[in-house]
Structure 1
Amino acid sequence: MQRVPLISQLEKLSVEATPTDKLKEAIKVKKKLFKQWSRTKSQSDYDKYKEARKECKKVVKTAKNASWQEYGEYLAEKCEKSPREFYKAVKAVRQRDKPFDPTSLINDEAGNPLTDQEDINNRWEEYFDGLLNFGDSQRSQEPFNPGFPDEEEPSILEDEVRAVVKECAKNKAVGTDDITTEAIQACGDVGIKWLNRVFNAVWEERAAPDDWQKAIVIPIWKKKGSKRDCEKYRGISLLSQADKLFAKITERRIRPLVELQLRETQFGFRKNRGCTDVILRYDSYVKSVSSSTRSCT
């Protein structure tokens, strides 16, 4: 078969040419030969185009291998120097379509596109406000009545605050107060005492600060439907880190009391229990029943 211009042109490229440069040249020559064959419909031009297409596939494969090799070296470097950046890079590969990145255009409730940024922000606020916030008619109007009003509730201890601060996760997004867990931990005992005073004030007054009742909602696409429809997004709420610490202390105080009232068949949201344990027990039970049935027959 006659040698097609693609191979000779690729050989003319300098030795320092990157796989991307060779790929661009291969695609350019292949398109040129395809247009030529489309005009003439001759067998010789088709053979040239066929050979160019074959060589182009080889160049594409080589470019892909070189790209993954370069990316692998990049990941190896990040793994040694910055494990956090390494896991972020791996996660980016798994989410190439970026479902967390909404489109620049959003439709209103009637389906009409919105282009002004202020209108888009108002549409997002309207959608999540109706989705997450309850109206006055849905809120309970009954006042809070403690089960044992005559008993004094113990104040929150500094040791409780110190324990949850020590165990709190790092590198987490902040809420409306812009206070990170790293900043709280960096304050040391001063931060512990400050949090302890705030937590005890909330505990005694039974009223949370306004910042704790607000959240920054991040829309994430559900990977189905139009990206312009707000209904195709789910929201992730970024809460105050101090609010999370207070909730953790409250959960640790309530859990021992609740555990005494739960049945042994309750597995959800319990320590050292989960759906896997239920599945394993069910599987072993089914197998035992099946084996006993076979033995009886």
Structure 2
Amino acid sequence: LDRDDVINAWKAYISQLFNDIRQDVEVDEQNLEGPSILKSEVLHAISIGKVRKAVGPDEIPMEAIKLIEEDNLDLVVKLFNRIYETGRLPEEWLKSTFVVILKKQHPKACNDYRLISLMSHMLKTFLRVLHARIRSKCEFDLDDAQFGFR
């Protein structure tokens, strides 16, 4: 196989792997507003970010995000709130770098490799803020007797 054949095989494999056949969900746009993202939420999301991890396409390591000073943190909070209000992520955050890791000794097909996706640490930080909000809402709504699937 030449290089182009290999690239095309991986493109086809990844397209099939990430083909989302779910139906779109109806969203009540009247009821989408929530409270603004707070600096404390962003600080917490940054504090739990893992260091010494591979960077995404933007090449910003988590170590650099953890070094953001107070003045610049306000800009991050402002950015996160803008994204939260508009529902639009920066284009760069929507890109991922795929890395393949060998699973089997003598690979013959794409599924003989483990495929991982490296994404922006800024996106991960933003998603941590959203995850914490969703989790706290779910915890509030769940009965105290609910133990599984928390």
Relative to the length of structure 2, the TM-score reads 0.83
Q: Which moved more, 1:124-133 or 1:168-177?
A: 124-133
Identity, in percent, stands at 32
Map 1:264-275 → 2, pairs under 5 A: 264-268=145-149, 270=150
Q: Deviations over 1:26-79 (max 9, x none)?
A: xxxxxxxxxxxxxxxxxxxxxxxxxxxxxxxxxxxxxxxxxxxxxxxxxxxxxx
Aligned: 1:145 with 2:28: yes
Residue type matched to 2:140 in 1?
A: L
Given candidates 83, 94, 101, the residue that maps to 1:202 is 83
Map 1:95-114 → 2, pairs under 5 A: 114=1
Aligned: 1:239 with 2:116: no
Aligned: 1:213 with 2:90: no
2:17 is matched with 131
Q: Deviations over 1:223-255 (max 9, x none)?
A: 36x413112222111111111111111111121
Shift of 1:267: 2.9
Residue type matched to 2:18 in 1?
A: L
**Take 1:255 and 1:169, find their aligned partners in 2: how far apart are those partners?**
20
**Take 2:123 and 2:22, find their aligned partners in 1: how far apart are those partners?**
22
Larger Rg: 1
Residue type matched to 1:251 in 2?
A: H
1:49 is matched with none
Structure 2 counterpart SS, 1:260:
helix
Does the CA contact (< 8 Å) of 1:184 and 1:191 recur in 2?
no
Aligned: 1:154 with 2:35: yes
1:274 is matched with none
Alignment length (residue pairs): 149
Closer, same or farther: CA 265–221 of 1 in aligned 2, 3 Å:
farther
**Take 1:167 and 1:222, find their aligned partners in 2: how far apart are those partners?**
30
More relative contact order in 1 or in 2 (CA 8 Å, sep 6+)?
A: 2
**Take 1:131 and 1:179, find their aligned partners in 2: how far apart are those partners?**
27
1:164 is matched with 45
Shift of 1:265: 4.5
**Take 1:198 and 1:211, find their aligned partners in 2: how far apart are those partners?**
14
Given candidates 118, 130, 134, the residue that maps to 1:250 is 130
**Take 2:28 and 2:115, find their aligned partners in 1: how far apart are those partners?**
33
Does the CA contact (< 8 Å) of 1:185 and 1:191 recur in 2?
no
Shift of 1:210: 2.3
RMSD of aligned C-alpha atoms?
2.3
Q: Deviations over 1:139-192 (max 9, x none)?
A: 53444225x62x842111112112221221111111111111111222322441
Given candidates 102, 107, 119, the residue that maps to 1:227 is 107
Map 1:1-297 → 2, pairs under 5 A: 114-116=1-3, 118-134=4-20, 138-146=21-29, 149=31, 152-223=33-104, 226-262=106-142, 264-268=145-149, 270=150
Show structure 2 runs of 5+ residues with no match.
Answer: none
Does the CA contact (< 8 Å) of 1:199 and 1:246 recur in 2?
yes
Shift of 1:221: 2.5
